[in-house]
Structure formats: C-alpha cells, structure tokens
Amino acid sequence: MSNITNQSLSEILESIKSKKISSLELTQAYIKNIENAKKLNAFVTTTFDQALENAKKFDNKSNNEQLLSGVPLAVKDLFCTENVKTTAGSNILNNFVPSYESTVTKNLWNNGAFLLGKLNCDEFAMGSSNETSFFGNVINPIGDHLVPGGSSGGSSSALVADLTPATIGTDTGGSIRQPASFTGTVGLKPTYGLCSRWGIVAFASSLDQAGPMTKTVNDCSIMLEAMSGFDEKDSTSINKKKETYSKNLKDNIKGLKIGIPKEYRVDNMPKEIDELWEKGKKILKDLGAQLIDISLPHTKYALPTYYIVAPAEASSNLARYDGVRYGYRSQKGKDLIEMYENTRSEGFGDEVKRRILIGTYVLSSGYYDAYYLKAQKVRQLIKKDFDDSFTKVDAILTPSTPSSAFKIGEKTNDPVSMYLNDIFTVPVNLAGLPALSLPAGLDKQGYPLGLQLIGKALDEQKILNIGYAFEKNCGYKNEIKKWWS
C-alpha cells in the first residue's frame, strides 16, 4: 500500500479492480506525494477537494468496466478544464477559468478517471526546458539542477516523481517525447488528427497533438485508447473506428522492418547517444526485426522549417489574447491600441513574444514567399522523405534527443541551442506521423536517454508493439531517490 504510487497505471488499475485499494486511498496517497513535492514546482493548480469527492463517488458506486476506473490524473495546463483555472503557463491566462472541458480530458473522465490537478508547462508550450513558464521552472526529479524537458515538463516531472499515475501532454515539436526522454519515461505523439485538438490552448495548429506520458508502454496504450477518437468539433480530426490498443498489444515483432536513417547521426552528437542507438538496434535485431538503412535527406532542414511554420501559426493563434474577452488586461494606455500593446507586452513572456515576432515577420508582406511559402515547400519534401521510406520499412528507429537533460539556466540565453534540442523530434510533427519515445539507457552521468520509434500515419499499434517488445528486453528502470520530500 505504501508504494502504490510508484506502480504503473496498469498495476494500479488492477489493484482498484480487485479492491486491494480504494480510489479514495489511492487519491489520498497521490495528494500526500504532491504536497511533499512542492519543490519540483510541477503543479500550477491542484484540485484535491474535487478529486477526493470523485474518488468517494467512485468507491460508492464503482464501475470497473472502464479503461481508467477510479484513477486520479493530473494533466498539462494546456487542456481547458471546466471550472478549473487553465493558464497555459502564461500570465495572460493567469485568471482564466474555462466554462468548457477539452475533448481529450473529457474522454479521460468518460473512461472513469478524474482530475487531480493542472501541470506546469512552458508558456503556451513554447520551450524545451519548462523555463518559460510564468509559474517558474519545473525541476527534474532525476537531479535538482536539471530541467525536466519541455514543454510538457510539469507532466514528465510529476509522472516520474509519482505525483500522478500517468499523464497527458501536447507535442508540437517534441514537447512530449523530449521530456519523456529526459525523465526515463514513455511518451507518445500520436498521428496528427488522432486526438482532438478541441479545447486545447493552441500553439501551432498544424503540428499540435495531444498524447500520453506514462511509465510503461502498456500504460501508454491504455491512455491512448482512452484519450483518442474522432471529434466532429475538430475539422482536422480523423474519422475512423476506435482502436483497442491495450488489448491488441503484442510483443512479437519478428520480421518487422526497422529503418535506420543515416541523417540522424548529426555532428557533435555525444558518443553515448550513438551507443544507445546501437543498443536499440541490437535489441530489435535480437527480437527478429530486420534493420534497413534508409535515407531521410531533408532531415537537416526540419528544424529551420519548424521555426518558420510554428511561429507563423502561433503569431496568429495568440492574437486572440488581447485583454478584451478573458485573461489579463493592462490598465495602462489611453486607447484600444495602447491597451492591446501593453496587455500583450505585459501578459506574454520573452520567448512567446520572440516567437510571435518571428511568426509575424515571416508572414508579413514582402517576406511571405521567402519564408513561409518556402517552409511549406520544404515541409512537403520532408513528408515525402517519410512517405518514400515507409514503402520500405514498418517503423523507423532514432534517438529521441541529442543529449540527456541539461542544467537549469544552461541554454536560456541561447535560443538556437535550445531549439536544437528538438532536432530529432520535429520532423515527425512536420510529417504528421506518430512517434514513441522509450527510455533506453543512461548516459555517463546516470541521466536517462530515450530512443524514438516513428510509425506510419495511424500505425500507433505497430510502434506500441515494437516498444512493448523493446521494453521487455531493454531492462531499463528508473532509480530515483525522492530527494525532494
């Protein structure tokens, strides 16, 4: 009982189902952990009273037929939650209380889970270290001087510190997979259109996708099954039959063809990343998969493309934060235009403002063709690279990140070096594909490193299966001292 919270989601679900533990006891255990983990700064808002109510309600009338029966979950503070403050890590939404629930979180609650709290994140999900949040940076439980990755840094930190049994994040350029890699956990960015974007504070609409962050691949499949599904309120939602990922999870990957793209061996990549990749290849080969060398020639251009497309969309998506209908409004300024300028200047942090300016510039008259249009053409080439490769292979194996978790403050003064952290994750978003980050080993400092499995569009089941087999044979285990409590 005392260590229920360091179990996996599937184990916890089993314990609830068999009544080894009540939902209330489970919830109380997490609340206790959260209260002892304030140093990590993983939560922006907690909803303990509401969670305890829901747990009691569940225990009184337990329905174990659901995927997430009786489980409290904390979620990234980018998902709008009905009557619970939703900030997107920004001052400009510091007082915003939505009257609606995002489709993805609603799906979780409809599957028997309930809200435990809202997790810190980079402001508007713009960041790779959770240092741009208005609510302060989040600490990686792996080490008190390390970033937890970003933008879903509160999510990765809370998960690995046992503050939530599983969680969800959003991934625009790596915001689920990079923090998962930095904390030795599992993170999946689904195919664009598999999870509804309705009710998620938008960053870059053509790239944003919500996905699960969990301790195990099985947990990941359960969460994906619960959160995904067609939503008629999202015009980019894919209308297809719902899949039962957890039931269909198989560890037999014999004969599958795994692509190894040569372009992912980048300059100055630490040796241990290379070694990790080799280790991954060996595990898959030993499991009967066939390794095939492939080429994704435009990989190098993915990040520059991303830093045109994402800021361009963001500059437009964030125009609605103008102090008129919700959120922060500056009291300075004599007319409407000054009110806008002061509100947005005071309400947004530096990184967000920087990206709005980049995005405004690349769309502005005289520069559109040189930047935005060019980027959309390169994006086509990047997508084509993947399309071509997937005629030959079932999945692609790459490192998740070019390094392990870095130190707090290490990259805050150099935006480009910060952006380079997403070099392996960004191409996947540009191509709209699913990708799974798996914990695979440690670097010489003992910090976790992840490998990424990229699948064809809507081929989540296959990369989950490969991940499942990999996990069983990798032997990775997080050993974390709870130094914060």
Partner 1 sequence: MSLDKEKIKHVAKLARISVDEAKVDSLTKDLNSIFKFIEQLNELNTDKVEPLTSILNQSLRSRKDEISDGKIREKILKNSPKKNEEFFVVPKVVE
Partner 2 sequence: MSKEKFDYFINGEKGKYEVVIGLEVHAQVLSNSKLFSGSSTKFGADPNKQVSLIDSAFPGMLPVINEECVKQAVRTGLGLNAKINNYSVFDRKNYFYADLPQGYQISQYKNPIVGEGKVLLDMPYGSKEIGIERLHLEQDAGKSIHDMDPSSTYVDLNRSGIALMEIVSKPHLRSPDEVNAYIKKLRTIMRYLGTCDGNMQEGSLRADVNVSVRKVGDKNFGTRCEIKNVNSIKFMQMAIEYEANRQVELLEDGKVIDQETRLFDTKKNETRSMRSKEDAHDYRYFPDPDLLPLKLEQKLIDDLKKSLPELPDNKKERFIQEYGLNSYEANVLVSEKEISDYYEEVAKLSDKKLAATWMMGDLFAMLNDKGLNISNSPISSKNFAELVQSIKSGEISGRIAKEVFEIMVESGDNPKKIIESKGMKQQSDPKELEKMINEILSKNKDKVDQYKAGKEKLFGFFVGQVMKLSGGKANPQLTNEILKKLLKG
- Which residues form the catalytic set? 76, 151, 175
Per-residue CA distances from 254 to 251, 259, 285, 453, 464 (Å): 9, 15, 9, 16, 14
Kindly indicate which of the ranges 94-102, 149-157, 285-293, 411-419 contains the residues binding partner 2, using the contact rule CB under 8 A.
Answer: 94-102
Identify the CA nearest to 362 among candidates 321, 311, 415. 311
Q: Does 298 bind partner 1 (CB under 8 A)?
A: yes
Quote helix, strand, coil % in the chain, to nearest 5.
Answer: 40, 15, 45
Q: Does 241 bind partner 1 (CB under 8 A)?
A: no
- Interface residue with partner 2 among 235, 239, 391, 413 (CB under 8 A) is 235
Q: Does 282 bind partner 2 (CB under 8 A)?
A: no
Q: Do residues 251 and 461 make contact, with C-beta atoms less than 8 angstroms apart? A: no
Q: Does 459 bind partner 1 (CB under 8 A)?
A: no
Tell me which amino acid residue 451 is. Answer: L
Per-residue CA distances from 176 to 101, 195, 212, 398, 434 (Å): 21, 14, 8, 16, 12
Identify the CA nearest to 353 among candidates 124, 197, 167, 144. 124
Q: Does 361 bind partner 1 (CB under 8 A)?
A: yes
In the bound complex, what is the minimum distance in angstroms from residue 299's beta carbon to partner 1?
Answer: 12
- Interface residue with partner 1 among 265, 338, 392, 409 (CB under 8 A) is 338
Number of H helices, E strands in the chain: 15, 11
- Interface residue with partner 2 among 20, 32, 95, 100 (CB under 8 A) is 100
Residue 218 CA to residue 221 CA, distance in Å, equals 5
Residues with Cβ within 8 Å of 290's Cβ and at least 6 positions away in sequence, in order, are 255, 256, 257, 258
Kindly indicate which of the ranges 213-221, 234-242, 289-297, 298-306 contains the residues binding partner 2, using the contact rule CB under 8 A.
Answer: 234-242
- Interface residue with partner 2 among 61, 247, 325, 444 (CB under 8 A) is 325
- Interface residue with partner 2 among 134, 198, 328, 390 (CB under 8 A) is 198
Applying the rule CB under 8 A, the residues between 396 and 435 that interact with partner 2 are none
Give 231-247 as a DSSP string.
Answer: -TT-TT----PPP-TTT
Alpha carbon 327 to chain centroid distance?
Answer: 25
In the bound complex, what is the minimum distance in angstroms from residue 369's beta carbon to partner 1?
Answer: 10
Residues with Cβ within 8 Å of 457's Cβ and at least 6 positions away in sequence, in order, are 191, 192, 432, 433, 434
Q: Does 236 bind partner 2 (CB under 8 A)?
A: yes
In the bound complex, what is the minimum distance in angstroms from residue 157's beta carbon to partner 2?
Answer: 24
Q: Does 322 bind partner 1 (CB under 8 A)?
A: yes
- Interface residue with partner 2 among 164, 315, 398, 461 (CB under 8 A) is 315
Give 446's DSSP letter: S
Helix extents (H) in 64-102: none
Q: Does 6 bind partner 2 (CB under 8 A)?
A: no
Q: Does 17 bind partner 1 (CB under 8 A)?
A: no
Q: Does 326 bind partner 1 (CB under 8 A)?
A: yes
Residue 53 CA to residue 45 CA, distance in Å, equals 17
Kindly indicate which of the ranges 27-35, 71-79, 150-158, 233-241 contains the residues binding partner 1, using the contact rule CB under 8 A.
Answer: 233-241
Q: Do residues 155 and 183 make contact, with C-beta atoms less than 8 angstroms apart? A: no
Number of residues counted as binding partner 2 (CB under 8 A): 43
End-to-end CA distance of the chain: 18
Q: Does 36 bind partner 2 (CB under 8 A)?
A: no
Neighbouring-strand partners of residue 74:
117
Residue 284 CA to residue 287 CA, distance in Å, equals 5
Q: Does 387 bind partner 1 (CB under 8 A)?
A: no
Give 304's DSSP letter: H
Residue 353: which of partner 1, partner 2, none does it interact with, CB under 5 to 8 A by kind? partner 1
Please count the residues of the chain: 485
Kindly indicate which of the ranges 9-17, 229-237, 414-422, 444-452 contains the residues binding partner 2, using the contact rule CB under 8 A.
Answer: 229-237
HSE of 361, CA atoms in CB hemisphere, 13 A: 8
Applying the rule CB under 8 A, the residues between 364 and 383 that interact with partner 2 are 364-365, 368, 372
Q: Does 172 bind partner 2 (CB under 8 A)?
A: no
Residue 297: which of partner 2, partner 1, none does it interact with, CB under 5 to 8 A by kind? none
For residue 395, how many other CB atoms are within 10 A of its CB? 26
Residue 76: which of partner 1, partner 2, none does it interact with, CB under 5 to 8 A by kind? none
Interface with partner 2 (CB under 8 A): 80, 86, 88, 93, 96, 98-100, 102, 197-202, 204-206, 232-236, 312-313, 315-316, 318-320, 322, 324-326, 336-337, 340, 360, 363-365, 368, 372
Interface with partner 1 (CB under 8 A): 95-97, 99, 192-193, 206, 232, 235-236, 238-239, 298, 300-301, 303-305, 307-308, 315, 319, 322-329, 333-342, 344-345, 348, 350, 353-354, 356-358, 360-361, 364, 370-371, 373-381, 383, 415-416, 419, 430-432
